[in-house]
Chain A
Amino acid sequence: QVQLVQSGAEVKKPGASVKVSCKASGYTFIGHYIHWVRQAPGQGHEWMGRINPNNGDTNSAQKFHHRVTMTRDTSITTAYMELSGLRSDDTAIYYCARAYYYDGSDYAFDIWGQGTMVTVSS
């Protein structure tokens, strides 16, 4: 069964960092990019960045460029997203999602993790 399983909820103070994990199973981990998307309470989705598990190359949205670090450990088929300098408006559900090239040239997100709630509060 193809799935992404994320780490549990976190509560952090402003200024702290949080690291969310995303454990992949049921498929070849290095064969698909992992993307990170967040959703603030009652809001829409915001793309944060992606990592190529094959070589570790990353791309991130300009908004998060200096605060987000994405890594992976191929030995345990797990991707990580660390967000630093947390603020109250970083309170959100953070999702990892697998990219699937459905027509060879364009992709969508076919498998999503269950989400990790990160609450930033003093």
Chain B
Amino acid sequence: SSELTQDPAVSVALGQTVRVTCQGDSLRTYYGSWYQQKPGQAPVPVLYGNNFRPSGIPDRFSGSSSGVTASLTISGAQAQDEADYYCSSRDSGGFGVFGTGTKVTVL
């Protein structure tokens, strides 16, 4: 399957840690990347592959991968981290596929 499945929503208390997961068969072969999207804005990459952070992304964002699951962890979540988060990888043809998205609410 070329689908990437995410939990629709998670919440985290301010300053606590939250993990966002992404599941799909393609993750056995390809790493996932992660994008943050706030309302009315274009996606912003927060993690490339297993654990490469783009320039300017704080180190509270980290990643991991095991089997068919990729994870994004936000350690010490801040109010500005409240957003939708999408994973992305490749499908069986080697081209792009996106996850269903997770809304992260910071309480």
Contacts and interface: CB of A to CB of B under 8 A. Distances in A.
B31 interface: yes
A47 B86 CA distance: 13
A102 B49 contact: yes
A109 B88 contact: yes
B42 A47 contact: no
Nearest to B84: A44
Contacts, number: 55
Which secondary structure dominates where chain B touches chain A?
A: strand
Nearest to A48: B96
Which of B30, B86, B88 counts the most chain A CB atoms within 10 A? B88
A99 B47 CA distance: 14
Interface in A43-66: 44-47, 49-50, 59, 61
Nearest to A6: B42
Interface of A: 35, 37, 44-47, 49-50, 59, 61, 95, 97, 100, 102-103, 106, 108-110, 112-115
